[in-house]
Structure 1
């Protein structure tokens, strides 16, 4: 048998969240390339039975809390399963803001190889008045304590690499398989959603939180209403995610703005759906608007899904380098929080079919940089080449 990798993740399906979806896709792709993969996660990932094999993946929904007790508990699982690598999929909120996980690699590395993927570099909340320097130290500690630290994008790489020279960059993939709809199937999907042929359908994918610019989304729709009589907004997917309780409060702000501006008739929420339905809805939109407050980034699985689905994308100017995607060729950038600029960009695409099709083709082409097969192969290469490092 190949190498055995044990993932530790604060969220995993059926919990809603990008890190859980990423972990599942990576695990399946690694397994397809000959590795054995097990997943230790939150007890909230329970709807899949204990030790349930999802396509031969062993899932153990073990943990209710992520405090110090995880140190010996995870070590026991490493022994029990004979894991060659222990790989933490880290996002601050997914581990309940608890810093115990950040220091754990020091304990675990005595027994096995430890890898650590940063899905963000947001410092955790430690205690009142904990300074930014201490919180940043806690966030960056694992990069110094594990054999293989990984980031998902160039901005995070530039932040960590000077301090942790062993850090590697591997992008994330789309958790949605892109669907290509023939013109008749696309028209049928739009009709299914109740849109007339001359409708301008703006899509948004993923649940809402403050960093994703939901209020800008609604203000853009308000501006478009005056320019296009049949504009609609299709909100694709679940409304809120599992890891961050502030998401729900933000959703209520967005819903209040929709009501205040009298836009309820123009906004449709699909709710949770399977990947094929998500793919069909993405393909049916005229433009995908993703107005991230902190700019477009390769750590956004929702952006990856838009590329894989061949969407004409309007998103916000990256705040850190994003050399892989070029403005005007692969997608269109506008300033964060600028609803008028977003509306103008959408109207330009909607009025120029040749340009819209060029953006769609190019998006699909760029998504080939981020296939799960390539991502899994790169992981295996790094597991093999760093297995000899002595810490």
Structure 2
């Protein structure tokens, strides 16, 4: 087998790095006589651009916060000839918010992936749960190290049992004579308590220190040795605050001769000499929430007497007399336990024997065999192999349609434009853009579902539009929460979006009162159509006119206005397009698909083959730049995509995905070509996780939609624009499916 490993790796000082190296070596040593040697390579996670002198098996370095490195890593694995990939997962070693950058790598890798989960949270945050669920979906197998982890994956992350394998944490097969080791460290005169690993407040070292005075009264020869540096993440945020606290505690309890800190990351051989020299190994962690402990596994594998709090891994590993447990934060119980063990050497020997017997199952040669067998079994199952991903229109994959969040954002003035997470941000007030979108969404909802809630919302948004219109037909845009105007004339974009909504109202009005109000607003604005300069405002206005003409096709004056506006767009195309740049301007910016969408609409009302030609050429050009990987990757708004430049990945926004959904729907209406339905559904699935970050923007709890992707991950705010974009996309998918069932099959 040829296997690619992704994780931290020595000489980076990291417990997972040591685990990865041991796993690589143990699989390499588990080749059967009739098998070719395994070919193993490592893709090492780097932190903060630190330069490490990696060994030869490291073939590629991934900088933690460089998202493009993850994409390059996926490409490297795909062309390397690897049969399988093993990923070591811990939230803190991958970039982006909660390690979200690992998701695009997993999605792009074209070989089965085995994921070893070093941390599984019982109470994850929204992002942590979403990320781990995506990882679980994409993995061929998930390796965990305890039965508690299996329970969590099934009950919290909804992982089917058949995807989970339990393989315990491996330990080196290193053993040293106890007395020789004590002499080596000049500890012959001491009863040694030992803890090793990165230091942090969750390790509970102060519990042991506070218990020492009572122990020393009976056993003055006791020495507590703590080996390990402060955890790098703790060091960056809090410095040596915890270590300093412990030093002051030691001084105040007059324990300076009984506690030794070795502030270093020691290599394994030296570590096992210390484990041989200790009399009792301590893991006094402060709470139960640790699903795996490599340090505990090492101590058990070395045959130590272990005294531990009953955190999850310890409760399993030390069962059946393989160690001794004491209650969290209970110094009195700890001192009694340690005094008893120090007084009864025979009991300690019995515990050591049980620990040593169990530890033989944990040596890396045995663990390597289990991993190698798991990998081989995956490769022997055709259903485990990666097949090309094809998205097809499937309404059953959609969450239930809900106006809950829109109602939350709407008051008697209009829809609040922004939100803090799922809560309306009243400080930001209202805008015309969002109230026009909200009217359009409500109309679409009522047309499809005859939803009375949507009907009740319409007059709120329509009255906002009316309130913001000047006598000359132009509109203000922004209104404060106390209903004060914040601008005199709004943007052309907000004008165009309003005309779109009003035109849709005139073509799909639920009653005459709304129709008559919309007609007044629409025709008061109409004299301004010819003055528009922004091509997106022109495009939005074209769409609004087309919806109006769908019910009023004999309005020759409006048809002429449509022709003039359409000419503005095609002239922009004529001015800017080249053989390799088939577009209306020298960059792809925001809301791009609105431009070809508007021409697709116009082509149904104008007998102009050139308009149709430009619509499809520009649609194909945009598709080529946003659908390369088989899913939608809209142009990011951070830097956009200037011709001959590099396209922006961040910040991707929901209105761009909506525009793509609408564009492909209109293309399907024009052609009845099912290809456009698949592209439509792929575009919609951007909201549900088929995107560059492999993260869902739809919030199943609030029923809102997150505001987009930033370089750190998902922007969890759920404003009106993003939530309306999701709902309109959702409705379009449902409509497209019905149309396909009627005449597209």
> Whole-Å Cα distance in 2 between the matches of residues 30 and 243 of structure 1?
31
Question: 2:12 matched to which residue of 1?
Answer: 15
Question: 1:314 matched to which residue of 2?
Answer: 307
Question: 1:356 matched to which residue of 2?
Answer: 348
> Whole-Å Cα distance in 1 between the matches of residues 324 and 199 of structure 2?
21
Question: 1:4 matched to which residue of 2?
Answer: 2
> Whole-Å Cα distance in 1 between the matches of residues 9 and 233 of structure 2?
10
> Whole-Å Cα distance in 2 between the matches of residues 320 and 298 of structure 1?
5
**Alignment: residue pair count:** 367
- Offset at residue 61 of structure 1 (A): 5.6
Does structure 1 retain, via aligned residues, the 8 Å contact 2:168–2:367?
yes
Question: 1:25 matched to which residue of 2?
Answer: 22
Does structure 1 retain, via aligned residues, the 8 Å contact 2:193–2:278?
yes
- Offset at residue 306 of structure 1 (A): 0.8
Matches within 5 A, 1:377-388: 377-387=369-379, 388=382
> Whole-Å Cα distance in 1 between the matches of residues 63 and 77 of structure 2?
19
> Whole-Å Cα distance in 2 between the matches of residues 340 and 321 of structure 1?
20
Does structure 2 retain, via aligned residues, the 8 Å contact 1:171–1:299?
no
Q: Give TM-score, length-normalised by structure 2.
A: 0.46
- Offset at residue 120 of structure 1 (A): 0.1
> Whole-Å Cα distance in 1 between the matches of residues 44 and 27 of structure 2?
18
- The higher radius of gyration belongs to 2
> Whole-Å Cα distance in 2 between the matches of residues 38 and 233 of structure 1?
40
Question: 1:215 matched to which residue of 2?
Answer: 206
- Offset at residue 182 of structure 1 (A): 5.4
- Offset at residue 121 of structure 1 (A): 1.8
Does structure 2 retain, via aligned residues, the 8 Å contact 1:46–1:61?
no
> Whole-Å Cα distance in 2 between the matches of residues 15 and 123 of structure 1?
29
- Offset at residue 390 of structure 1 (A): 4.9
Q: Decide whether aligned partners of structure 1 residues 380 and 177 sit closer, same or farther in structure 2, where only a CA change above 3 A counts.
A: closer
Does structure 2 retain, via aligned residues, the 8 Å contact 1:6–1:40?
yes
> Whole-Å Cα distance in 2 between the matches of residues 390 and 186 of structure 1?
49
- Offset at residue 67 of structure 1 (A): 4.9
Structure 1: stretches of 5+ with no match in the other structure: 125-130
Matches within 5 A, 1:43-62: 43=46, 46-49=51-54, 52-53=55-56, 58-60=57-59, 62=61
- Offset at residue 79 of structure 1 (A): 3.3
> Whole-Å Cα distance in 2 between the matches of residues 336 and 206 of structure 1?
19
Among 32, 35, 43, which residue is 1:40 paired with? Answer: 43
1:149 maps onto 2:142 in alignment: yes
Question: 1:257 matched to which residue of 2?
Answer: 249
Per mean C-alpha deviation after superposition, the further-off stretch among 59-68 and 351-360 is: 59-68
Q: Decide whether aligned partners of structure 1 residues 43 and 325 sit closer, same or farther in structure 2, where only a CA change above 3 A counts.
A: closer
Q: Decide whether aligned partners of structure 1 residues 246 and 315 sit closer, same or farther in structure 2, where only a CA change above 3 A counts.
A: farther
Question: 1:283 matched to which residue of 2?
Answer: 276
> Whole-Å Cα distance in 2 between the matches of residues 259 and 188 of structure 1?
28
Question: 2:130 matched to which residue of 1?
Answer: 137
Matches within 5 A, 1:183-222: 183=179, 185-189=180-184, 192-193=185-186, 195=187, 197=189, 199-222=190-213
Higher relative contact order (CA 8 A, sep 6+): 1
Per mean C-alpha deviation after superposition, the further-off stretch among 160-169 and 23-32 is: 160-169
- Offset at residue 322 of structure 1 (A): 4.6
The structure with more helix, counted as a fraction of residues:
2
Question: 1:90 matched to which residue of 2?
Answer: 89
1:103 maps onto 2:95 in alignment: no
Residues 228-264 of structure 1 deviation map (CA, whole Å, 9 limit, x = unaligned): 222211123x322345545744333323322332322
> Tell me, what secondary structure is at the counterpart of 1:314?
strand
Does structure 1 retain, via aligned residues, the 8 Å contact 2:45–2:93?
no
Structure 2: stretches of 5+ with no match in the other structure: 31-36, 387-745
- Offset at residue 138 of structure 1 (A): 1.8
Does structure 2 retain, via aligned residues, the 8 Å contact 1:148–1:168?
yes
Per mean C-alpha deviation after superposition, the further-off stretch among 87-96 and 225-234 is: 225-234
> Whole-Å Cα distance in 1 between the matches of residues 178 and 243 of structure 2?
34
Q: Decide whether aligned partners of structure 1 residues 320 and 330 sit closer, same or farther in structure 2, where only a CA change above 3 A counts.
A: closer
> Tell me, what secondary structure is at the counterpart of 2:223?
strand
Does structure 2 retain, via aligned residues, the 8 Å contact 1:67–1:100?
no
The structure with more strand, counted as a fraction of residues:
1
